[in-house]
Amino acid sequence: MTYSVPVKDMLFAMEHLAKIDQVAQIPGFEEAGLETAQAVLEECAKLCEGVVAPLNVPGDVQPSSLKDGVVTTTAGFKDAFAQYGQGGWQGLQHPVAYGGQGLPKTIGAACIEMLNSANLSFALCPLLTDGAIEALLTAGSDELKATYLEKLVTGEWTGTMNLTEPQAGSDLALVRTKAEPQADGSYKVFGTKIFITYGEHDMAENIVHLVLARVAGAPEGVKGISLFVVPKLLVNADGSLGERNDVHCVSIEHKMGIKASPTAVLQYGDNGGAIGYLVGEENRGLEYMFIMMNAARYAVGMQGIAVAERAYQHAVAYAKERVQSRPVDGSVKASATIIHHPDVRRMLMTMRAYTEGCRAMAATAAAAYDAAHHHPDAKVREDNAAFYEFMVPLVKGYSTEMSLEVTSLGVQVHGGMGFIEETGAAQYYRDAKILTIYEGTTAIQANDLVGRKTGRDGGRMAKAIAAQIAGTEAELNASATPVAKVVAARLAEAREAFVQVVDFVVAQSRANPNAVYAGSVPYLMLTGNLVAGWQLGRSVLAAQELLTKGEDQAFMQAKLATAQFYAEHILTKVAGQAESIVHGGDSTMALPMEAF
C-alpha cells in the first residue's frame, strides 16, 4: 500500500497549535514561517513517498545481513540514504556553521514523522546521527567539532549511541567498558556493547560511535562514566579517512520488527585497543549522553506517531475495499465494504484520534523546544525549557504506547487477513513494539515524570499545565457550539482527575514510594491522554474559527469530529486511571514475591 504524507494536518498543527509564525519571530528563524514550512514539508514528502516508502516491505522481507564482519543493508537503502544526505535532510535542524539548514524543530519534527512513516528501519540511522550531533554540539571540544560535525550534519558519516552491555541495560551504573589514557591525549577503549543501532552498515563512509566507558580510578556507579568518540575509521589530520579502528561488529540481532535496521554487537579493543577521544570532561559522560537520549526520546515518540499514521492509512484503504456482511442499518441491501460497519468505524476513529492527538502534542512540544533554545528573553527560555522537559516523557511514552494500540487495531480491521504477512498490517504491529522499549522503557519515562518532572518541583509545572487547560475549557465553553461544550466537559473531568493524581504523587512520593511508582505508568498514560486531548481542544477552537471564514469545510469538520470522538471515547478513560493510581498501589504490591 502506498503512503501519503498528511501534510495538511501537519501544517494545521504547526500553524494553529505550535504557532509557527511566533517561532519565526525568534532571531535566526525569521525565514522559517508557514510558507517555508509548507515548501519544506512538500519537498520532504516527495522523497519519503517516492524513494523511502517503497523500501519498507523489502527491508522487512530481506533485512540487513552480516558476512565476515561486513553488514550489507537491504537493496536500495544505500542509494536512498545518499539521496537523503544530498538533499540536506540530515542537517535540517542543525547549525548552518556545520553545513546544516538551521531550521526550527517545529518544522524538523514533521519531517522526522514522515520519514519514519515511510520506513521506520531506514529512519533509525539519521535518528541516531541527530543524537550524536547534539552531544558533540553541547560537549565536544573545538577539535572534535571540527573533525566530525560537518561530516555528520551533511550525512556523509553516521553516528551511534553505545550505552548497553550484556549486564548493563537500563542500569548504566553496571557499565564495564574501560578507557585507558594515552600519552597523546587519546584513550584506548576495551569492551562489548550490544543493541547498537546501525553499529555497522554500508550506507556511509564512516561511523562515529559515541561510547560510554570508565577511566581507571573513576568513581563507582554512574558518577564514574565518561563519554568517548570512537570512529570506525580513524581520521587523519587533513580530514581524510585513515586506517580501521579496533572496533568490529561480531553479530547482528534477529528481531521481531525493524528488521532492516542492523542492530549490532560491537567489540572494542580485541587487537590492542580502539582509539577514542574524550567528550567534555571525565566522569560526566552520563550527563552528556542524556543530551543524546533526550533528543532520541522525542524522536522515538515521533516514530510512534509515524507508524500509527501508516497503520491507519493501511487500515482505511482495506476497509474501503473489503466487502463483508450487510450493514446493520440496512443502508445497503447486500454485502458492503466493511467501512459501513459501526465497530470498524470505531476502530478507525480510535486510530485517527490517537494519531492526531499525539501529533498535536508533539508539535506543541517542538515549538517549546525552539523557544527554550533560541528565544532572546531568558524568562521565556526558562519557562519553555521546563514545559518541554515535562513533555518529553509524554511524547515518548504515551505516543509509543498508543502506537501499539493503533497498530493492533490496524491488524484487527483486516480481520484474519491482518494475521497474514502479505497484507502488510502485521509489520507495523511488529515494528511498533520496540518503541516502548528502546531509549528508555515506558516505565523509565514514567519514573522520570514522577520523580524529576512532578515530585521535584512539588507539582508546579503539572499544575501550570492544568491551569492552561482550564483556560482552553473556558474558551470552548464561551464558543458554545455543541462540539466545543462536549470537549470542554470531558477536558474538565480529566483535568480534575489529573490534579488529584498530582497531589497524590507529591504527597506520597517519599512516604509511600511503592504505591506512587506502582501507578507511574498509569500516571504517564493519564497525563499523555489529557495533554493530547487538550491540544485537540485547541484544534476545535481553530477549526471553528476557520469554518466561519469558509476555509476547507470538509477538513475542518473532520477535525471537529475527531476531537469529539477523542473526548468521548479516550479522555473518558482518565477518571478510571486516576482511581487505580490513587487507590490501587497497595494491591499491586500485596502478593508476596514467592507467590509469583
Could you read off the pLDDT of 453-499 as tens digits, one per residue?
Answer: 999 999 999 999 999 999 999 999 999 999 999 999 999 999 999 99
Classify strands 263-268 and 157-162 as parallel, antiparallel or unpaired.
unpaired
The span from the CA of 24 to the CA of 29, in Å, is 5
- So what's the pLDDT on residue 483? 98
Average pLDDT, integer, range 517-535: 98
- So what's the pLDDT on residue 546? 97
The span from the CA of 456 to the CA of 461, in Å, is 10
Could you read off the pLDDT of 217-238 as tens digits, one per residue?
Answer: 999 999 999 999 999 999 999 9
The span from the CA of 297 to the CA of 161, in Å, is 13
Average pLDDT, integer, range 357-362: 98
The span from the CA of 76 to the CA of 2, in Å, is 17
Q: What is the DSSP string of 99-123?
A: T-----HHHHHHHHHHHHHH-HHHH
Domain limits, the chain: 7-63+74-144, 158-285, 289-586
For a pLDDT cut of 70, what percent of the chain falls above it? 100
The Cα-based distances of 85 to 44, 55, 119, 136, 143 in angstroms read 12, 17, 16, 19, 24
Q: Is 439 tagged catalytic?
A: yes
Residues linked to residue 220 through DSSP beta bridges, in sequence order: none
Could you read off the pLDDT of 367-417 as tens digits, one per residue?
Answer: 999 999 999 999 999 999 999 999 999 999 999 999 999 999 999 999 999
CB atoms near residue 549 (< 10 Å): 8
User: Does 1 have pLDDT greater than 80?
Assistant: no
The CATH topology of domain 7-63+74-144 is Butyryl-Coa Dehydrogenase, subunit A; domain 1 (1.10.540)
The span from the CA of 449 to the CA of 389, in Å, is 9
Inter-residue contact 189 to 175 (CB < 8 Å): no
Average pLDDT, integer, range 137-153: 97
Confidence of residue 103 (pLDDT cuts 50, 70, 90): very high
Inter-residue contact 209 to 117 (CB < 8 Å): no
Could you read off the pLDDT of 310-346 as tens digits, one per residue?
Answer: 999 999 999 999 999 999 999 999 999 999 999 999 9
pTM over cut 0.75: yes
- So what's the pLDDT on residue 171? 86
Inter-residue contact 421 to 479 (CB < 8 Å): no
Q: Single out the catalytic residue among 439, 475, 493, 594.
A: 439
Mean pLDDT of the chain: 97
3-state class of 278 per DSSP?
Answer: strand
Q: What are phi and psi of 171, to 5 degrees?
A: -90, 90
* Degrees, nearest 5: CA angle 433-439-441: 60
Q: Do domains 7-63+74-144 and 158-285 have the same CATH topology?
A: no
The span from the CA of 106 to the CA of 14, in Å, is 7
* Rama region for 88: left / alpha / beta (φ>0; ψ in -120 to 50; rest): left
Angle between helices 520-548 and 460-479 (to 10 degrees): 30
Could you read off the pLDDT of 277-308 as tens digits, one per residue?
Answer: 999 999 999 999 888 888 899 999 999 999 99
CATH number of the domain at 289-586, please? 1.20.140.10
- So what's the pLDDT on residue 173? 86
CATH class assigned to 158-285 = mainly beta
Q: What are phi and psi of 197, to 5 degrees?
A: -65, 125
* Degrees, nearest 5: CA angle 385-402-509: 55
- So what's the pLDDT on residue 16? 98
The span from the CA of 372 to the CA of 58, in Å, is 40
- So what's the pLDDT on residue 134? 93
